[in-house]
Amino acid sequence: MALPHTKPVHPRSNERGLAGHGPAPRGILALLEPTRIEILQQLIAQNPASSFARYGLAMEYVKSGDLESGVREFAAILDTDPGYSAAYFHGGQTLEKLGRLDDARDYYRRGLAVTRDPHARAELQASLDILGD
């Protein structure tokens, strides 16, 4: 007999968990799905020269708090694509978070030397100005 004000749930439905024992824990389901970092790593394994995938990976590392891995990915982008202005800016920002201010200044200066986009140049210059020479 169904309780009043409840709707029947299929015994295997995720809406109320397995056999109606409450919601399925999200953590368990998340273990089955690849993370963004894993997906981006797979994309890079297929195409190591993909600046776009590597930039996404760097940003995911930074977002997760793995700043050193983020810096490594920004550096890898610039090794193969020295005109990728966002890597200079976000790489510099990440270096600042690590307290590596001289390295951050270097990123900003290198970015200014190769970037022609006015918006990117303004961001790089503002970041360098904040740090000072």
Domain ranges in the chain are 34-131
DSSP 38-105: HHHHHHHHH-TT-HHHHHHHHHHHHHHT-HHHHHHHHHHHHHH-TT-HHHHHHHHHHHHHTT-HHHHH
Where on the phi/psi map is residue 132: left (φ > 0), alpha (ψ -120 to 50), or beta?
A: left
Q: What is the pLDDT of residue 42?
A: 95
**CATH 2.40.30.10 describes domain 34-131:** no
Read off the tokens for 119: 């918006």
CA pair distance 100, 35, nearest whole angstrom: 29
Model confidence pTM above 0.85: no
Q: What is the pLDDT of residue 87?
A: 98
Q: What is the pLDDT of residue 3?
A: 47
pLDDT in tens, 46-75: 999 999 999 999 999 999 999 999 999 999
Contact, 94 vs 100, CB < 8 A?
Answer: no
pLDDT in tens, 85-95: 999 999 999 99
